[in-house]
Amino acid sequence: MDPIVETTLGRVRGVTSAGISVFKGIPYAAPPFGDLRFAAPAPARPWDGIRDALAFGPTAPSPAYATPLDRMLPDPVIPGDEILNLNVWTPDLEMSLPVLVWIHGGAFVNGSSAVPVYDGAAFARDGVVFVSINYRLGAEGFAYLDGAPANRGLLDQVAALRWVRENIAAFGGNPDLVTIAGESAGAMSVTALMAMPDAEGLFRRAVAQSGAGHSAMSVGTAKRIAAALAESLGVEPTRDGLAAVDPTDVVAAQFALSRRILARPDPQEWGEVAADSMAFEPCVDGTVLPGRPIDRIVAGASADVDVLIGTNADEYSLFLVPGGADQGIDENVLRMMVGAYGLDVETALAAYRESRPGAAPGQLLSAVLGDWMFLIPALRIAETRTVQLLSTYVYRFEWPSSLFEGRLGATHALELGFTFDNLAAAGVELLTGPHPPQVLADDMHRAWVSFVSTGGPGWSPYGEARTVMCFGAESGQLEDPGAEVRVLWDGIR
> What would the pLDDT profile of 4-27 be if each residue is shown by its tens digit?
999 999 999 999 999 999 999 999
- For 4-218+281-304, CATH gives 3.40.50.1820
What DSSP designation does 72 have?
T
Report residue 147's pLDDT band, with 50, 70 and 90 as the boundaries: very high
Report residue 444's pLDDT band, with 50, 70 and 90 as the boundaries: very high
Mean pLDDT, residues 198-222: 98
Which value, to the nearest 10 degrees, does the dihedral of the CA atoms of residues 381, 216, 322, 320 take?
-80
d(CA 331, CA 99): 49
pLDDT of residue 256: 97
d(CA 154, CA 280): 12
Mean pLDDT, residues 172-196: 98
d(CA 105, CA 110): 7
pLDDT of residue 292: 98
Report residue 128's pLDDT band, with 50, 70 and 90 as the boundaries: very high
pLDDT of residue 447: 98
Report residue 253's pLDDT band, with 50, 70 and 90 as the boundaries: very high
Q: Annotated catalytic sites, by residue?
A: 184, 315, 412
How does strand 173-183 pair with strand 205-209? parallel
Distances (CA, A) of 447 to 28, 179, 314, 359, 382: 30, 14, 21, 32, 18
Distance of CA 284 to the CA centre of its chain: 18
* Residue limits of CATH 3.40.50.1820 in the chain: 4-218+281-304, 310-489
Residue 347 amino acid letter: T
Mean pLDDT, residues 116-136: 98
Question: Which candidate, 103, 170, 175, places its Cα nearest to that of 134?
Answer: 103
Tell me how crowded residue 299 is: count the other CB atoms within 10 A of its CB. Answer: 12
Contacts of residue 421, Cβ cutoff 8 Å, sequence gap at least 6: 122, 441, 442, 444, 445
d(CA 29, CA 31): 7
Q: Which fold has domain 310-489?
A: Rossmann fold (3.40.50)
User: Rounded mean pLDDT of the chain?
Assistant: 97
d(CA 435, CA 441): 12
pLDDT of residue 223: 98
What DSSP designation does 372 have?
I
Question: Which candidate, 204, 132, 205, 127, places its Cα nearest to that of 172?
Answer: 127
Residue 348 amino acid letter: A
Q: Look at the pTM and tell me if it is higher than 0.85.
A: yes
What percentage of the chain reaches a pLDDT higher than 90? 100
Contacts of residue 431, Cβ cutoff 8 Å, sequence gap at least 6: 72, 318, 401, 403, 408, 411, 413, 414, 417
Render pLDDT for 271-307 as a digit per residue (tens, 0 to 9): 999 999 999 999 999 999 999 999 999 999 999 999 9
Q: In a 3-state reduction of DSSP, which class is residue 205?
A: strand
Q: Check pLDDT > 90 for residue 255.
A: yes
Report residue 225's pLDDT band, with 50, 70 and 90 as the boundaries: very high
d(CA 234, CA 203): 42
Question: Which candidate, 310, 284, 279, places its Cα nearest to that of 412?
Answer: 310
Q: Check pLDDT > 90 for residue 1.
A: no
Question: Which candidate, 180, 160, 168, places its Cα nearest to that of 101?
Answer: 180
Report residue 355's pLDDT band, with 50, 70 and 90 as the boundaries: very high
